[in-house]
Amino acid sequence: MDIINKISSTFWSTDIWLPPNTTWADIAPGSRPDVVHANYKDLIWPIPLAAVVMLVRYTLERFWISPVGKSLGIRSSRPKKAANVPILENAYAKSTRLDNKWLGPLSKQTDMSERQIERWWRLRRAQDKPSTLVKFCENTWRCIYYLYSFIFGVIVLWDKPWFWDVKSCWYGYPHQSISNDIWWYYMISMSFYWSLTGTQFFDVKRKDFWQMFIHHMVTLLLMSLSWVCNLHRVGSLVLVVHDCADIFLEAAKLTKYANYQKLCDAIFAIFTVVWIVTRLGFFPRLIYSSSVEAPQILPMFPAYYIFNTLLLMLLVLHVIWTYMILKIVVDSLQKGLMSGDIRSSDSEDLTDSSENVRMANGGSSSSRSKNKSSAIAGGVSQRKSHNASNHTADTEEKTTK
């Protein structure tokens, strides 16, 4: 126990996480009558709230989104099942990708031709894939959440001075009050990422599964640390900036599944513009403030450099993602339609099986991703596939989103 206490005290050293001449007691709740400091104990609330979020999602998908999808003619059935061949099932269990070296031995063991084995493999992989309706429901839910989160974030921040003047993020730090609306904005956002972390094991499996899992965890870690260190002002700005583009990304995906190709192309074009404006316009403004304006207002400390470095890394990811998006847009204009899914599953339907290179999350995301997020984004893989309007995040992507 002494060792654990020593490690904890070393990790949470005020020399690292707080400005000079500031202690944890100075920013504890109730330490000042004129300031409502963040309470680190509140970080437990997003976990039970995540269960509520998952219940809301299940209810919407079951009683509203799924019926709407069916009314639009979205396919809810899967391709026919592959024949039960134990030898091939054992080989498939080892790897879902068929190695050409296996064809000869498997052909001898099963008395099937190599072509029959390849066809069986394609059917078997398609059998593991979710139906289009399942993917439609997932993307519609995310679109609804990001729309709500962005609108709620704007409403919450509208009367906050730092929403209009980023320098206000640093005035009076770390003695900055947490209002009730900011408290709810943070808690609900964190509960959403906790829910993503849990439902990711049941949602559509994508090639960047573990990268996005890490992205969600990193996002939760960064939000938790920003809460503990009372950096909620700049944290709330990062959240609202990242939510905006994800609305159109998810909307483009669901219209693609509903076979509204022209609408999908239009929404994806809007997404591209909004992405560039927010991720390469507003977000760099936040980084400029944290890198140039903040040192002029308050004394620097190690945690500041940690957070600022992570924001810079996220900006680099945004530049990479923007390049990938523009590359897809140019390619799509040449072909006459959107044709790539940057967050596709490991393989699409049999009619959509030409996916390959992927785009980079989240941190976040950051965004992811998806990437919300990736983002962030910290952990998002790069790829490009056959369905461009289904493009992510994570990243962010939801990276540090």
β-bridge partners, 206: 345
User: Which residues in the chain show pLDDT less than 50?
Assistant: 338-401
CA distance 179 to 63: 35
The Cα 278–Cα 241 span in angstroms is: 6
Residue 206, pLDDT score: 67
* Second-level CATH architecture of 86-127: Orthogonal Bundle (1.10)
CA 158 to chain CA centroid, Å, is 25
347-359 per-residue burial string, b: 16 or more CB within 10 A, e: under 16: bbbeebeebeebb
Q: Which of 379, 378, 371, 380 is nearest to 398 (CA)?
A: 371
Among 400, 393, 359, 360, smallest CA distance to 377 is for: 400
pLDDT for 347: 35
| HSE value, Cβ hemisphere, 13 Å, CA-based, for 203 | 28
For the chain, which residues make up each domain, given as ranges?
A: 44-68+131-390, 86-127
- Helices 114-127 and 86-94 pack at an angle, to 10 degrees, of 60
For residue 354, the model assigns a pLDDT of 32
- The mean of the pLDDT values for the chain is 80
Residue 349 phi, psi (nearest 5): -60, 165
- Cα–Cα distance, 237 to 2 (Å, whole number): 39
For residue 101, report the phi and psi dihedrals to the nearest 5 degrees.
-70, -20
Phi, psi of 373 (to 5 degrees): 150, -20
How far is Cα 190 from Cα 400, in angstroms, rounded to an integer? 11
Q: Are 369 and 215 in contact (CB under 8 A)?
A: yes
pLDDT value at residue 56 = 95
DSSP string, 258-273: TT-HHHHHHHHHHHHH
Query: Could you tell me which of 78, 327, 80 has the C-alpha nearest to residue 204?
Result: 78
